């Protein structure tokens, strides 16, 4: 089974859910999926679909780089860690790689609330990923 076949449910879901600029390519035994999701919920659904195919995200044969289109529902949140930076991760979980950091006190963009524990965020530098919601406070 090729990687394209293995991840066909994921790429089909991306296409069906309105991911724009969808690009799927296989290189060096890794499948790359790039695009722009219309909202945070779609991105969360794609991560859930990926979890169905590779439940522990340990296959190492997929790189999913789906950004989220900013819409009117976006708001700002403040990083409220004790004093350290907040890790921003590729997906919703501590097992996901760190793709960026937000400083204590920094105000960042809340894209969506993936679940009670993990919120999808974007920094001023454009880094997008998931942060632990306990350390985020919505701005008034």
Cα separations in angstroms, 79 against 2, 32, 82, 114: 42, 31, 9, 17
pLDDT band at 83 (very low <50, low <70, confident <90, very high): confident
CATH number reported for the structural domain that contains residue 14 in this entry: 3.30.460.10
- Total number of domains constituting the chain: 2
Whether residue 12 is found in the same domain as residue 60: yes
Of 42, 68, 94, the residue at which a domain comes to its end is: 68
Of 25, 41, 68, the residue at which a domain comes to its end is: 68
CATH number reported for the structural domain that contains residue 126 in this entry: 2.30.30.40
Question: Are 50 and 42 a contacting pair, CB within 8 Å?
Answer: no
Whether residue 63 is found in the same domain as residue 81: no
Q: What is the pLDDT of residues 9-58, one digit of tens each?
A: 999 999 999 998 999 999 999 999 999 888 778 888 898 899 899 887 77
Write out the residue range of the structural domain in which residue 48 sits. 3-68
pTM reported for the whole predicted model: 0.61
Question: Are 37 and 43 a contacting pair, CB within 8 Å?
Answer: yes
């Amino acid at each position: 089974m090729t990687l394209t076949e293995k991840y066909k449910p994921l790429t089909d879901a991306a296409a069906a859910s309105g991911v724009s600029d969808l690009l799927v390519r296989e290189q060096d035994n890794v499948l790359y999926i790039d695009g722009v999701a219309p909202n945070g919920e779609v991105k969360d659904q794609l991560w859930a679909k990926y979890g169905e195919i590779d439940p522990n995200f340990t296959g190492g044969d997929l790189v999913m780089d789906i950004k989220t289109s900013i819409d009117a529902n976006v708001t700002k949140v403040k990083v409220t860690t004790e004093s350290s930076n907040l890790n921003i991760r590729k997906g919703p979980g501590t097992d996901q790689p760190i793709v960026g950091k937000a400083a204590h006190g920094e105000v960042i963009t809340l894209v969506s609330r993936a679940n009670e524990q993990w919120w999808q965020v974007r920094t001023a530098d454009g880094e997008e990923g998931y942060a632990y919601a306990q350390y985020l406070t919505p701005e008034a």
